[in-house]
Amino acid sequence: MNYFAHALPFLDDPYFAAGTGVPDWLSVVDRRVRMRKKRVEPLLADPDPVAAAVAGGVWQHLADDAKFHDTRAFAETMLDMTVLVRDALGGETGLRPGFLGHLLVEVLLDAALVARHPAELERYYGLLAAIDPAAVERAVNRMAPRPTRRLAQMIVLFERERILSDYLEDGKLLRRLSQVMRRVGLEPLPEGFGEMLPGARRLVERRREELLKGIPA
């Protein structure tokens, strides 16, 4: 699951919704800081309502990801997506097709939800603009095995860049995918890779309800 799929059911609780994005934001800006349920759970009943809400969102993300990645629908869709990616890469094997297959299932599921819920996407960005990113970072540092000083800035950048809107257009999505490839140290995508994106979107849309089965909605 990706940012919007995690947050969509919880937009009435801004700090909880923001908390659902924390593990993914950290994977971008501070990969050494990993959220673990055993460190999150003590803060779920914290007297500070912001800290408790952020902890609840983080816990929800971890629980939803574990459920999502364990489903048959995800395994089958990721396999089909990896085949599409491999064909688009000229039959390439190795790390890149599998990584992209996994990533595209999650990103294109967000794209499908954004297309269905444009008003809720605006609510999501609105709540991110209204919360205090420093308060989220402080709460996370009470749960993290090591402190981060990069999370608050990441939340501000994420709200400003509005990357989820880019998922709806193949050209913009391709640019975002290329950024991810550079960040994780994989080879850049070849010219023409974007030609597979319409078929990839149809694949995820066909499996959308199965992929989200059992996840809060």
Per-residue pLDDT of the chain (217 residues; tens, 9 = 90+): 999 999 999 999 999 999 999 999 999 999 999 999 999 999 999 999 999 999 999 999 999 999 999 999 999 999 999 999 999 999 988 889 999 999 999 999 999 999 999 999 999 999 999 999 999 999 999 999 999 999 999 999 999 999 999 999 999 999 999 999 999 999 889 989 999 999 999 999 999 999 999 888 6
Residues in CB range of 122: below 8 A, 6 or more apart: none
Structural domain that includes position 15? 3-212
Task: Report the C-alpha gap between 31 and 209 in whole angstroms.
Answer: 31
Q: Is residue 217, in this structure, part of any structural domain at all?
A: no
Total domains present in the chain: 1
Q: Is residue 147, in this structure, part of any structural domain at all?
A: yes
Q: Is residue 150, in this structure, part of any structural domain at all?
A: yes
pLDDT digits (tens, 9 = 90+) for 107-148: 999 999 999 999 999 999 999 999 999 999 999 999 999 999
Q: Is residue 14, in this structure, part of any structural domain at all?
A: yes
